A and B are shown apart, each in its own frame.
With several copies, the nearest count.
Chain A
Amino acid sequence: MSYLDDKTPIPGTILFDGQKSRMGYGLNKMCYSFNDESARNEFKADEDAYCTKYKLSDEQKKAVKDRDLIAMLELGGSIYYMAKFAGILKLNMQDIGALQTGLTLDEFKQKLVDAGK
């Protein structure tokens, strides 16, 4: 009995498990490539062609195009690889946090500060 056999959703949380990793394999492989500067430049020069090279699905391509991080997660993105995608967009982890939670950056920062009280 694995802890993963408990299928009760954890609110606001997507566990990156085998099912997600299968679904997001190409998407994550693309984002993994962004460790290399040349890959980042190639992506920036023609995003769509680069997504095709990594065999992203149409839904995944749309999520990338829309910078829809929640959709990327749902389609199998792993946050550690997606962070490299965010880097290309010049977004840091707090920017990403705000985007995913629908808060402004200041609201998101305040949420973090409040957690320390």
Chain B
Amino acid sequence: MAKIIGAVGSSHIPAIGLAIAKKQQQEPYWKGFFDGHIPIWNWLKEKKPDIAVVFYNDHGLEFFLDKKPTFSIGAAEEYISYDEGWGLATIPPIKGDPELSWHICNTLVEDEFDITICQELGVDHGLTVPMQLMFPGDPNYGGIKVIPVIINCELHPMPSPKRCYKLGQSIARAIQSYDQDLDVVIFGTGGLSHQLDGQNAGYINKEFDLMCLDKLVNDPEYLFKFSVRDIIENAGAQGIEFNMWMGMRGALPGKVEQLHFNYTIPISNTAAGTMLLSHE
């Protein structure tokens, strides 16, 4: 049976991809952030997971407002990185595992998640930056295959943190009932507190982030009390990307241990969190 071996929380902001392209990892601005990934790099090299379920949001590359889904699941053979319009280099195609994708989709619909199934899916920095970040310099991404899980963080109404956590739980049930011997890691990407637009641009809330991350590890259901509006009031308009971390945490069953944690302010306009979780 497939097994969930742990989870990684990370940022996906484009500036990280640009810094990688410019090889700035050891410059003062970036050193703390990139070095904060060393324990994760080591863990991934040691554990060699077969599959990464990646919770991310599309930022207007593959989805437009004509048809905007709440939750989408990738079910393609591979995922192509496309030009996003402002100069981020594309990366080599990322392999999928359509068979596992369909198994997850079947479970999700049975569990009353009304997903959009994507047999063709271009991917933006939401997915490409974490892949570059987790597998530095490796165009084959450690041989891992991904299952993209896309949560709407652009257009209101958006799903609640609780709903995203429940989505993760259902995905975990699907994986644990999958009849193949695969090791699966969960990636939650995005956030933490930040706001890109409006007079409140540049807003960051360290205290709220640290509270959320602590609860995420130790008492995730505490966070169910926050509505989307609550998150935005506390963490900024794009702070709602925390929903990806909620999905990731929902997919970690049983008792959880935090193996590594890093938190950097600022990376570009955001507070960037880095987290490695294992579970029994």
Question: What is A's interface to B at a CB cutoff of 8 Å?
Answer: 1-6, 10-19, 21-22, 25, 28-29, 31-32, 34-37, 40, 69-70, 73, 78-84, 86-88, 92-94, 96-97, 100-103, 108-109, 111-113, 115-116
Q: Using an 8 Å CB-CB cutoff, how does the interface string of B126-148 with A read, 1 for contact, 0 for none?
A: 00000000000000000000000
- With A12-B200, A93-B268, A101-B199 in contact, do A18 and B102 touch (Cβ < 8 Å)? yes
- Give the chain A neighbours of B228 by CB distance below 8 A: 3
Is there a chain A Cβ closer than 8 Å to B35's Cβ?
A: no
- Pick from A25, A80, A84, A113: contact of B119, CB below 8 A: A25
Closest residue of chain B to A12 (Cβ to Cβ) is B200
- Name the distance in Å between A12's Cβ and chain B's nearest Cβ: 3
A3 contacts B110, C-beta separation under 8 Å: yes
Cα–Cα distance between A78 and B203 once the two chains are bound (Å) = 18
Interface majority SS (helix, strand, loop, mixed), chain A: helix
11 new A-B contacts at CB < 8 Å, known A94-B268, A109-B266: A11-B199, A15-B156, A17-B155, A17-B156, A18-B99, A22-B119, A32-B65, A80-B60, A83-B86, A93-B14, A112-B269
A25 contacts B65, C-beta separation under 8 Å: yes
Cα–Cα distance between A60 and B228 once the two chains are bound (Å) = 29
B interface residues, tally (CB under 8 Å) = 57
- Name the distance in Å between B153's Cβ and chain A's nearest Cβ: 9
- Give the chain A neighbours of B98 by CB distance below 8 A: 18, 22
- Name the distance in Å between B121's Cβ and chain A's nearest Cβ: 13
A13 contacts B64, C-beta separation under 8 Å: no
- Pick from A4, A32, A73: contact of B60, CB below 8 A: A32
- 4 residue pairs, one from A and one from B, having the closest CB atoms: A87-B86, A12-B200, A116-B265, A18-B102
B233 contacts A4, C-beta separation under 8 Å: no
- Give the chain B neighbours of A109 by CB distance below 8 A: 266
Closest residue of chain B to A39 (Cβ to Cβ) is B85
Q: Which positions 163-216 of chain B face chain A at CB distance < 8 Å?
A: 177, 195-206
Is there a chain A Cβ closer than 8 Å to B28's Cβ?
A: no
- Name the distance in Å between B267's Cβ and chain A's nearest Cβ: 9
- Give the chain A neighbours of B217 by CB distance below 8 A: none
- Give the chain A neighbours of B271 by CB distance below 8 A: 115-116
